């Protein structure tokens, strides 16, 4: 039942075609979830302005291509993450206006009009190997209209590299920090700034890095209280939340 059919029911009550008790019963049993579905969806889209995203990993190239095309047909911006090469080829063949971001393993299709950047996000990576995760975050944030400053390879073992970009850090509304191995960078960054820091552990490392678990644990134990954490390699999720924060900050003046 959507709004149209609800209106129809209520008109029938008004016209006397259906009496209130019967209508009550129908409404009590109505699939209000469908109504809710639409409402929640719209509410969510209205508030966040962020479209649904295709997580391509575990989907066949055909599946991803079909979903991408259907979304593209609806006129919205489209984002697919964790896209491998065969899938990317098939999606681009189907949606030629889309862009494949190789390092980020992502495909974007911008169909909305250009807008003012909605806030400023600094995205840091500790090492060059963390770049794919950082780029996934950057591509996501840019499609969602945030201004992104990339600050890569600023790991804590060469502190001067980080200190050299401090001004860029302090001008951001929110900071995403991608790091593998010991995952120490978010704590250091968190101590340098007064904005939220979203830490993304990466699976970069070997041996006792346990595919990112060590970085994850380190970030969760950060002594900087402005650090929150997302799943290992989850650049997309970090950017999603960062955009929500950055937009609020951007509107404040």
Residue 46: how many other CB atoms lie within 10 Å = 8
Return the residues of window 157-186 that contact a second copy according to CB under 8 A: 157-167, 170, 173, 181-184
Tell me how far, at minimum, the Cβ of 96 lies from a second copy, in Å: 26
In terms of CB distance, is 77 or 233 closer to a second copy? 233
Tell me how far, at minimum, the Cβ of 14 lies from a second copy, in Å: 5
Burial of 109 (0-12, 13-18, 19+ CB in 10 A): buried
In terms of CB distance, is 20 or 96 closer to a second copy? 20
Which stretch in 20-28, 89-97, 103-111, 143-151 sits in contact with a second copy by CB under 8 A?
20-28
In terms of CB distance, is 45 or 112 closer to a second copy? 45
In terms of CB distance, is 108 or 209 closer to a second copy? 209
In terms of CB distance, is 112 or 221 closer to a second copy? 221
Total residues at interface with a second copy (CB under 8 A): 117
Whether the CB-CB separation of 131 and 154 falls below 8 Å is answered with: no
Strand spans (E) along the chain: 54-55, 78-81, 99-101, 106-109, 120-125, 147-152, 174-179, 197-201, 227-229
Residue 210: how many other CB atoms lie within 10 Å = 14
Return the residues of window 219-248 that contact a second copy according to CB under 8 A: 219-234, 236-238, 240-241, 244-245, 248
Tell me how far, at minimum, the Cβ of 180 lies from a second copy, in Å: 8
Q: Given the structure tokens 């006792």, which residue do they identify?
A: 208
Return the residues of window 184-203 that contact a second copy according to CB under 8 A: 184, 187-188, 190-196, 198, 201, 203
Q: Which residues contact 172 (CB under 8 A, 6 or more apart)?
A: 120, 121, 122, 149, 193, 195
Return the residues of window 111-150 that contact a second copy according to CB under 8 A: 126-129
Dist. CA 70–CA 201, nearest whole Å: 33
Dist. CA 153–CA 172, nearest whole Å: 18
Return the residues of window 21-80 that contact a second copy according to CB under 8 A: 21, 23-24, 27-28, 31-41, 43-48, 50, 53, 57-59, 63
């Amino acid at each position: 039942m959507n709004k149209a059919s609800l209106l129809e029911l209520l008109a029938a009550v008004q016209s006397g075609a259906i009496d209130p008790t019967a209508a009550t019963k129908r409404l009590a049993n109505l699939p209000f979830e469908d109504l809710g579905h639409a409402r929640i969806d719209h509410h969510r889209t209205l508030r966040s302005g962020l479209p649904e995203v295709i997580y391509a990993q575990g989907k066949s190239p055909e599946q991803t291509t079909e979903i991408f095309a259907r979304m593209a047909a609806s006129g919205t911006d489209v984002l697919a993450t964790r896209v491998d090469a065969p899938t990317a080829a098939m999606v681009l063949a189907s949606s030629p206006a889309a862009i494949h971001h190789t390092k980020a393993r992502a495909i974007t299709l911008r169909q909305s009009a250009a807008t003012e950047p909605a806030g400023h996000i600094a995205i840091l990576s500790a090492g060059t190997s963390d770049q794919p995760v950082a780029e996934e975050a950057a591509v996501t944030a840019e499609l969602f209209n945030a201004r992104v400053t990339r600050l890569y390879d600023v790991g804590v073992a060469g502190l001067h590299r980080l200190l050299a970009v401090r001004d860029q850090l302090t001008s951001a509304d929110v900071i995403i920090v991608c790091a593998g191995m010991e995952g120490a960078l978010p704590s250091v960054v968190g101590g340098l700034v007064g904005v939220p820091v979203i830490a993304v552990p990466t699976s970069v490392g070997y041996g006792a890095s346990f595919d990112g678990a060590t970085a994850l644990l380190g970030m969760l134990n950060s002594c900087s209280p402005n650090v929150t954490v997302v799943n290992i390699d989850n650049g997309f999720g970090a950017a999603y939340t960062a955009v929500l924060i950055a937009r609020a900050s951007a509107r404040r003046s």
